[in-house]
Amino acid sequence: MALPRATTLLTASALSGGAVMAIELSAVRLLAPWFGTSQSVWSNVIGVVMLGLSLGYLLGGRASRSSEPSRALIFLLGAGAVFTACLPFAAGPVAELFLPDQLRLDSAAEVFRWGSLATSVCLFLPASILLGGVGPLVAELISREGDLRAGEAGGRMLFASTVGSLVGVFSTSHWAIPSIGIRATVLTAASILLVASLLVRLATPGGGRKETVTALLLLVGALGAMVLPRSMPQLPEGFVLLEERESPYQYTRLVEDQRTEPYMRSLQVNEGTDSYQSVWQPELGLLDGDYYYNDFVLPAWWQRKKGTWRCLTIGMGAGTAKRVMAGAMPEGLILDYTGIELDPVVVEMAEKWCDLASDDATHLLSGLDGRAALGLIEGRMDHILVDAYANQVEIPPHLATVEFFDSIEALLEPAGWCQVNVSGFSTSDPMVAAIASTVSAAFEAPVLILRVPGARNCSVFARRDSRPPIPTAENWIDPTFPESIAALLGGREVRGQWDWVEVSHPKGVVLTDDLAPVELLQQRSLQEARHSLLGASRNVDA
């Protein structure tokens, strides 16, 4: 049986283009459980795939000079399919070669940068080189088949390939990854490449039956592999996996720490480090340990209000803020909570495992971007919490700008509170200083930075037309506060635990919608954490 050659070749080119895009988009998500999905991981994956494709173009161009380019094309598509099918199973073992047993957040930037690059090179370079060779071979075959000029043949091939890529982009991002998961998406891409190889084989006159059978067997193998488990990072001893899901945004898992009672649950996304996005304990109220969530109750105590406390959280996660506040509000103050969370999968998992539920005093806005959703908020808030993170440790730039905090201020009651959780190693951390200076510029008011003891976080506080309390003030710890709240404030008044940013004296870069170099600040934050004190100790040696 011989298929119409030109149409078959263009179809193979389109299928290959779609498969390359599926591999590229899945690649970052494949690495996410080990290296996250930061900008540098994206750059490394895209860079390696582009490098592979460019080398593949050379390879394909050279192979097109042979007397039987169709054989080379069948081989490249088939071999590309085999390499692609291995990706979900090889990702874990390869990534673990480039990760230490324990990884601290302050060392993470360099490890993630180099580790993700090395892993990408090992995993994605071979398949990219092979699939890069497809285009020139298809162009050559079309040119020979229809006696076309090189430009016309190349144009047709590029048209088919780009249309295939377009379909690959949309179907991978919007359907495949959220619906069938990463492993099945990659194996589907491998199967598509095998089908392309088979089509070219069938359209090539005089070919043997052996290659056809081999391709069919590989296809069955790739489809069968979809039932095998994808390699994932191991949980530490004493931790139990409750659920793991892929969403359009991230890989998410809920784990329970069963080493000590009460069991704590934590929501982790794309985690390659020891960080978490939300925690849950059976009891409502302050968490037992050094958690920044406990700081979320402070404005309600400082305000001395009676009645209803309207609180909006941007970046609700699994609803930790709500549970902490609900169990630690001052007497006579009732929490009315609104939470915005971008990832609906996170909310679904929280509803299942973390007792998150909508009711008259709990309003959940799921699947909405924090900034876009501000327009949906009715009335004024007493307290707006910003705890939005993406890619493990990155604050989304559009949720860190003067314009964003202007919108926040407009939603607050007079003397209402804006509180931002910022991951940072000290009050002078570049990211913390930038956020505090930005909030101060937006509110045109002084801002208090409080370090969270024993954690890598700082709480940034600002008030609409008012000032936060100063830790050195006599009434910093009100004698009427219960012991738990006094303990939360105790020790925060000493040097290094707090700072104050005045509008006239910003301590960091003020971020705007036009210029918000969040990624750069985050990198500097991690680098400075590693080196901040080394200078002092070196002076001692000198």
Q: Are 347 and 356 in contact (CB under 8 A)?
A: yes
Any contact of residue 129 with another protein (CB under 8 A)? Answer: yes
Any contact of residue 306 with another protein (CB under 8 A)? Answer: no
The Cβ-side half-sphere exposure at 122, using a 13 Å CA radius, reads 18
Q: Which stretch binds another protein (CB under 8 A): 109-117, 153-161, 188-196, 358-366?
A: 109-117
Q: Which residue has the tokens 């103050």?
A: 333
Task: Give the nearer residue to another protein in terms of CB position, either 42 or 98.
Answer: 98
Q: Are 388 and 315 in contact (CB under 8 A)?
A: yes
Any contact of residue 537 with another protein (CB under 8 A)? Answer: yes
In whole angstroms, the minimum distance from the beta carbon of 422 to another protein comes to 16
Residue from 2, 50, 93, 100 that binds another protein (CB under 8 A)? 100
Sheet of 264-269: strands edge to edge?
Answer: 239-246, 251-257, 264-269, 278-280
Any contact of residue 99 with another protein (CB under 8 A)? Answer: yes
Number of residues that bind another protein (CB under 8 A): 56
Strand partners, 279: 266
Any contact of residue 532 with another protein (CB under 8 A)? Answer: yes
Task: Give the nearer residue to another protein in terms of CB position, either 122 or 510.
Answer: 122
Count other Cβ atoms within 10 Å, centred on residue 439.
30
Any contact of residue 497 with another protein (CB under 8 A)? Answer: yes
In whole angstroms, the minimum distance from the beta carbon of 103 to another protein comes to 7
DSSP code, position 420: E
Residue from 39, 43, 104, 466 that binds another protein (CB under 8 A)? 104
Q: Which stretch binds another protein (CB under 8 A): 211-219, 335-343, 355-363, 446-454?
A: 446-454
Any contact of residue 382 with another protein (CB under 8 A)? Answer: no
**CA–CA gap between residue 108 and residue 113 (Å, rounded):** 8
* Residue among 418, 436, 417 nearest 427 (CA): 436
Any contact of residue 242 with another protein (CB under 8 A)? Answer: no
Q: Which stretch binds another protein (CB under 8 A): 14-22, 85-93, 97-105, 319-327?
A: 97-105
Any contact of residue 265 with another protein (CB under 8 A)? Answer: no
From residue 379, give the alpha-carbon distance in Å to each of 303, 310, 338, 402. Answer: 19, 9, 12, 21
**CA–CA gap between residue 442 and residue 505 (Å, rounded):** 14
In whole angstroms, the minimum distance from the beta carbon of 475 to another protein comes to 12
Between residue 348 and residue 377, which ones bind another protein under the rule CB under 8 A? none
State residue 76 phi and psi, 5-degree precision: -60, -45
Q: Are 113 and 44 in contact (CB under 8 A)?
A: yes
Q: Which stretch binds another protein (CB under 8 A): 83-91, 171-179, 280-288, 483-491?
A: 483-491
Task: Give the nearer residue to another protein in terms of CB position, either 293 or 337.
Answer: 293
Q: Which stretch binds another protein (CB under 8 A): 93-101, 148-156, 229-237, 500-508?
A: 93-101
Task: Give the nearer residue to another protein in terms of CB position, either 95 or 399.
Answer: 95
Any contact of residue 90 with another protein (CB under 8 A)? Answer: no
Helix 105-132 to helix 5-35 angle (10° resolution) is 170
Any contact of residue 262 with another protein (CB under 8 A)? Answer: no
* Residue among 26, 367, 351 nearest 181 (CA): 26
Residue from 476, 481, 520, 527 that binds another protein (CB under 8 A)? 476
**Tokens matching residue 503:** 């509008």
What percent of the residues of the chain are helix, what percent strand, and what percent coil, each to the nearest 5?
55, 15, 30
Task: Give the nearer residue to another protein in terms of CB position, either 209 or 495.
Answer: 495
Between residue 394 and residue 433, which ones bind another protein under the rule CB under 8 A? 425-426
Strand partners, 450: 459, 498
Between residue 50 and residue 89, which ones bind another protein under the rule CB under 8 A? 51-52, 55, 58-59, 62-63, 65-66
Residue from 493, 503, 506, 519 that binds another protein (CB under 8 A)? 493
Q: Which residue has the tokens 């590989």?
A: 218
Residue type, 168: G
Q: Is 465 left (phi over 0), alpha (psi -120 to 50) or beta?
A: left
Beta strands in 205-290 (DSSP E): 239-246, 251-257, 264-269, 278-280
Binding interface with another protein (CB under 8 A): 51-52, 55, 58-59, 62-63, 65-66, 97-104, 106-107, 110-111, 114-115, 117-119, 121-122, 125-126, 129, 425-426, 451, 453-454, 471-472, 476, 487, 490-497, 532-534, 536-537, 539-541
